[in-house]
Chains A and B, each alone.
Chain A
Amino acid sequence: MKKIIYILAVSLSIAVLSSCEKEVLSDRSVITVEEMEQTELDKWLTVNFLNPYNIDFVYRFSMNESDMNYYTIPPRYELAVKMAHLVKYLCIDTYDEVAGIEFTRSYFPKMFFLIGEWEYRNNGTFILGTAEGGKKILLSGINYLDEYGKDAEGLNFYYIKTIHHEFTHILNQTRSYPQEFAQVNGNGYVADSWSEPPYNTEYLKNGFFTAYSQENDAEDFAELMSEYVTHTQEYWDSEIAKAGDGKQYINRKLDIVRSYMLDTWGIDMDVLRATILRRQNDVTSGKIDLQDLTIR
């Protein structure tokens, strides 16, 4: 009896499996890739960003890349051209020079997204730039580049320092810095209160180089690194002189940053700084043509 049941079950299963007619799949893909005409900048970016570094430099508005919590607008094309040159000359080429192209290829952020205005909050303050997961950097306020980017100070404050700052986060996320760093200021970090009195004015005395450094130790680390490499020793000393007792904390932390960069990444911060300042000077003295889209 059992045998009959088995035979029945097996033959029916075969019938079930074989009874369906085979579907012929269409050879056409259901996905159509949009094709857009390339602008001169697109062509330049392919040669200077995409091919050598696999970096996507998005300068035309994309809803999916923008933060829906803010009202944003696209950047002016001519200023996006300038910004692309600035990112290349002041950041990418700098790291190539100091740490080698393989370092830049491996760790430098893979996407830049540009918007024309700042991201305004409803209290009148605004966001200069953000980074997402070590991959994407938002550069805002591009439409003010001519106005604020005239000198090194403005250029750094509004745009370039942000890139070095966010890049430091990426390096930290790849290989963490010593725990000791967070203990220098102990419970001196104040999270979001950094922009409020008394923290927005007393930061140097409390042992922080900028007000934002007080957010947490990761931001403190990125601020120290990015402030140090984008400023002259003269500026650094003049700020430290205002710190009073806070000086020892800043110097202690800077030592940790310095040895982390050297031991972990083989980057001498003073060489990095000298390179950045030299390149900054090339830009502000007009040696670099920021609009030249010739492909070499």
Chain B
Amino acid sequence: MKTLRKAFILAAALCLLAAQSCLKDQHEVFDKPYSERLSEFNSNVRSILEKDGQVWLMEMYPGTSQKFGGYAYFLTFENGMVNARCELDPETVYSSYYKITSDNGPVLSFDSFNDALHVFATPSSGAYEAMGGDFEFSIKSYSDSKIELVGKRSDNHYNLNAFDGAMTPEAYLAAVNRMSENVLAATVEAKLGESDLNGEVDLDNRRITFTYYDPEESALLNAGSDEEEEGEDDGYVTKAMPFMYTPTGIKAYEPIKILGYTFSEFNYFEGNNVFTDGVITLQGKVPSDYTQYPDFAGDYVFTYYTKKANVTLTPDETGAGYIMSGLDSHYTIYLRFIKAKGRLEMNSQKIGTNGSNIIWLAAWDLDHGGSLTWNEDAGMELHWVEENGQFEFVPGIKVEDFYADSFILWETDANGASIDSYEGWGQAQSQIPYLKALKRK
């Protein structure tokens, strides 16, 4: 009897198994295998890109969080080659191979070097991550007029828009360059309804950082964050708008929503320093201590601590800064022009070599015990002080909580490992304590 029961259980179990294993109810969702669809997608993108004489305008935003702002590129594609022209060098077209391939999906890859396309992606010993530029892009969607791309390195979205403007690409880029030279504002102000909107403009990195009062949005943004770390919620919101230049003004990386208004593109009017999209008007302002680039040139008495020295500021070839000479015969010092502020900045920099070792002019914090850094973003700014009739150095923090009020000559090995202060050019010359001012002779 027992055996019979066992047999029944066995039979029942086997029947269940049989019933399950035979139930075949598979439906194909797609009519073709994935790789075939992918290959079709890729070939469609390629034919759109290479469509007769089609010119594409690319919005290139290198770096994480679009930290350098955007740059305009014009591209044409033919027979597996891409021809690129960018606003940094609008008169030259650079050609190289490209491919549309697949790794985790369809990818547009500029896979042979191109002077225009790889400019933000090319690393160096000073910038091992380059400017975080992309040259491989995931293709998100395509149509005849627009191909949506996402940078594989930065995750920024890059659009390729079919360009059918009245201008030639060359003229468009020349106009973009004129605009980038003309726009001059350190801050912007606007009224949005009854509310004030303020923005800090970083022209070098093509970004406006807006601050405005919106308790509701602020509460939302602060929800879940550690209050002690973030500070009290004061109702103010900060929002960054990376932008690129257009022939008529600026265009935001993506539409930005502030206090119920959404905006993305502004026309710029140089005469009254105004950005407007027809609804919102941003009034550009320059600070009262703003100095135009050419006005820094000349001979000065440089004062620091209890000392004086005759120095000369000479504009460098690129127009991006000044060379200060005269302080010491062994080296000159580079001061970069900060366009948005109308100031110069003197940062840690390489000023010479000792064998294979590097001699740095290193930013130095004498006020708080004498720590130093050769981080090339640390240093001091130089600005015009009207009441004293001279340019003065501003001690303070510029990077990573490092306060600078002085400079010191420091030696490192070629790998950047610290050695010691450098006194090979004389002990007295090895320090520039407490920088004060440059007074015109």
Which residues from B are CB-within-8-Å of A34?
39, 42, 101-102
Chain A's nearest CB lies how many Å from the CB of B46? 11
B-contacting residues, A1-55, CB 8 Å: 1-2, 4-5, 8-9, 12-13, 15-16, 19-21, 23, 28-32, 34, 36-37, 39
Cα distance A126–B364 in the bound complex, in angstroms: 28
Residues of B within 8 A of A71 (CB): 121, 123, 128-130, 132, 153
Q: Are A32 and B39 in contact (CB under 8 A)?
A: yes
How many contacts between A and B, using CB within 8 angstroms? 140
Contact at A117–B123, with CB atoms within 8 Å? yes
Among listed A56-64, A167-175, A223-231, interface-contacting one: A56-64
Q: A30-B35, A31-B35, A37-B80 are in contact. Are A16 and B125 (CB under 8 A)?
A: no
Q: Majority SS of interface residues in chain A?
A: loop
Of B14, B18, B112, chain A has the most CB atoms within 10 Å of the CB of: B112
* Residue pair A30, B130 in contact (C-beta under 8 Å): no
Partner of A39 from the list B3, B97, B103, B153 (CB cut-off 8 Å) is: B97
**Assembly CA distance A238 to B109 (angstroms):** 48
Q: What residue in chain B is nearest A38 (Cβ atoms)?
A: B80
Q: Is the CB of B124 within 8 A of A9?
A: no
Q: Are B103 and A64 in contact (CB under 8 A)?
A: yes
B369, CB-defined interface residue at 8 Å? no
Q: Which of B7, B39, B97 contacts A8 (CB 8 A)?
A: B7
Residues of B within 8 A of A125 (CB): 125, 414-415
Contact of B111 among A15, A23, A74, A117 (CB under 8 A): A74
* Interface set, chain A 68-111, CB cutoff 8 A to B: 70-77, 80
The answer to whether A143 has its CB under 8 Å from any CB of chain B is: yes
Q: How far is the CA of A183 from the CA of B332 in the complex (A)?
A: 51
Which chain A residues border B79 with CB–CB below 8 Å?
37
Select from chain A the residue with minimum beta-carbon distance to B32. Answer: A28
Interface size class of B (residues with CB under 8 A): 35 or more
Interface contact B39-A60, CB-CB below 8 Å: no
Name the contact of A196 in the complex, choosing from B24, B152, B417 (C-beta under 8 A). B417
Chain A residues within 8 Å of B397, by CB: none
Cβ–Cβ contact A30 & B113, under 8 A: no
Is B128 touching A76 in the complex (CB atoms < 8 A)?
no
Q: Is B99 at the interface (CB under 8 A from chain A)?
A: yes
| Cα distance A215–B126 in the bound complex, in angstroms | 26
* A120–B153 alpha-carbon span in the complex (Å): 17
| CB closest residue in chain A, given B42 | A34
Point out the residues of chain A lying under 8 angstroms from B15, CB to CB.
12
Q: Could you tell me if A120 and B125 are in contact, using CB atoms closer than 8 angstroms?
A: yes
Chain B: minimal CB distance from A248 (Å)? 28
Known A12-B18, A28-B33, A73-B135; contact A124-B125, beta-carbon cutoff 8 A: yes
| B200 beta carbon closer than 8 Å to chain A | no
Q: When chains A and B are docked, how far (Å) is the Cα of A8 from the Cα of B4?
A: 11
A8 touches B10 (CB 8 A): yes
Interface residues as binary, A106-143 with B (CB distance below 8 Å gives 1, 0 otherwise): 00000000001110111111100000000000000001
B305: Cβ under 8 A from any A Cβ: no
Task: State whether the Cβ of A197 lies closer than 8 Å to any Cβ in chain B.
Answer: yes
Q: How far is the CA of A271 from the CA of B130 in the complex (A)?
A: 44
User: For the complex, is B220 an interface residue (Cβ under 8 Å from A)?
Assistant: no
Residue A195, interface by CB 8 Å: yes
B6 within 8 A of A: yes
Closest A residue, CB atoms, query B80: A37
User: Once the chains are docked, how many angstroms separate the CA of A36 from the CA of B46?
Assistant: 12
Pick from B96, B125, B416: contact of A126, CB below 8 A. Answer: B125
* A30-B10 CB under 8 A given contacts A74-B111, A123-B415, A125-B414: no
The answer to whether residues A74 and B112 also contact, given A16-B14, A123-B415 and a CB cut-off of 8 A, is yes
A80 to B112, CA, bound (A): 9
CB distance from A210 to the nearest CB of B (A): 15
CB-based contact A20/B22 at 8 Å: yes
Contact status of A73 and B113, CB under 8 A, knowing A1-B3, A124-B416, A125-B414:
yes
Closest B residue by C-beta to A63: B103
Chain A residues with a Cβ under 8 A of chain B: 1-2, 4-5, 8-9, 12-13, 15-16, 19-21, 23, 28-32, 34, 36-37, 39, 59-64, 70-77, 80, 116-118, 120-126, 143, 195-197
11 further A-B contacts with Cβ under 8 Å, apart from A61-B111, A63-B152, A117-B124, are A1-B3, A21-B22, A30-B34, A32-B38, A39-B80, A70-B128, A73-B135, A74-B111, A74-B112, A124-B126, A196-B417
Return 30 A-B CB contacts under 8 Å, by A number: A4-B7, A5-B10, A20-B22, A21-B24, A30-B34, A30-B36, A34-B42, A36-B99, A39-B97, A60-B97, A60-B112, A70-B123, A70-B128, A71-B130, A71-B132, A73-B123, A74-B111, A74-B118, A77-B97, A116-B118, A118-B123, A120-B123, A120-B128, A121-B128, A123-B415, A124-B128, A124-B415, A125-B414, A196-B413, A197-B413
